[in-house]
Amino acid sequence: MNGKALRHILARSEWFASLPPALAEGIVAEARIRRFRNRPIYLTGDAPNGLFLLLAGEVRIVHHASDGSPALLGATNPGTWFGESSMLDGRPRFSDAVAIGEASVLQLTPAAFRKLTEGSAAHYAAFTRLLCEHYRLAIAHIVSTATLPAMTRLAQRLLYFAEEEGKSLPGRRAVEFRLSQQNLATTVGISRQTLNGLLKQLESQGLIETGYAKITLKKPAALQRLARREPEQLPPGGS
């Protein structure tokens, strides 16, 4: 990847755009590109191994509950930073970051991180802001899970994955993306059984079509109305 392409991806990040010029240039100079294919970038319990920016492909962040069951926290898209928590507090990783298929990342190693932050409170504070951004997003998701009907949350997650990972089907307004129903149920915060019932409702109304580890949004506009929680659009039973 050439410098122009790298800077184009970096420009997608509001956080990176807000950095002091010296820090932004330092990250570009010190970071290195790494490639992964269907393997972990780091695992729960690992020592901090860097701050990462997804350049291409997909990386999924997975947390493990006390009983060992996995919970999909999110799927990153190119231009997304991840892995900052352990870099800031020095503690072991508390989630997995796994490349799905081919993925390229920009890695700022622990040594490079220390080089950029030691002796500069402003630079360290900049990385803290990144953590705060992700914290706010996490709180918003928790509030959504606690207060919105399950059907509304499902519509929001379907639209999210369609935007981040979907591809438009030729000659149609439909969008298709690949995701297991177990992972979808986890991100929505419902059981697999409840998810199956909600998906059947959406499918019977012609809004979606399901396949093996694949979902097609046939009427994204209708799902957007569901995501906004317009009462007259909510199918019965969504709670």
Domain positions in the chain: 3-145, 149-233
pLDDT, residue 207, reads: 93
Tell me if the domain spanning 149-233 has CATH number 3.40.50.720. Answer: no
Count of residues in the chain: 239
Closest CA to 113 of 137, 131, 138: 131
pLDDT, residue 237, reads: 35
* Per-10-residue mean pLDDT, the chain, length 239: 77 89 94 96 97 91 81 76 95 94 95 96 96 88 80 89 66 66 80 93 93 85 82 35
**Distance of alpha carbon 125 from alpha carbon 53, whole angstroms:** 18
* Three-class DSSP labels, 143-191: HHHHHCCHHHHHHHHHHHHHHHHCEECCCCCCEEEECCHHHHHHHHCCC
Which DSSP category does 48 fall into? P
Which amino acid, 65? Answer: A
Query: 172 to each of 13, 112, 118, 164, how far by Cα in Å?
Result: 31, 47, 53, 19
Q: Work out the angle at residue 43's Cα, subtended by the Cα atoms of residues 92 and 192, and round it to the nearest 5 degrees.
A: 120
* Three-class DSSP labels, 96-108: EEEEEEEEEEEEE
Phi and psi at 187, nearest 5°, equal: -70, -30
**Distance of alpha carbon 209 from alpha carbon 217, whole angstroms:** 7
pLDDT, residue 65, reads: 78
Q: Which two tokens stand for residue 11?
A: 């420009």
Instruction: Look up the CATH superfamily of 3-145.
Output: Jelly Rolls (2.60.120.10)
3-state secondary structure of 135: helix
The answer to whether the beta carbons of residues 129 and 84 sit under 8 Å apart is no
The answer to whether the beta carbons of residues 68 and 123 sit under 8 Å apart is no
**Residue given tokens 């059907």 in the structure block:** 151
Q: Do domains 3-145 and 149-233 have the same CATH topology?
A: no
Q: Which two tokens stand for residue 218?
A: 């046939």
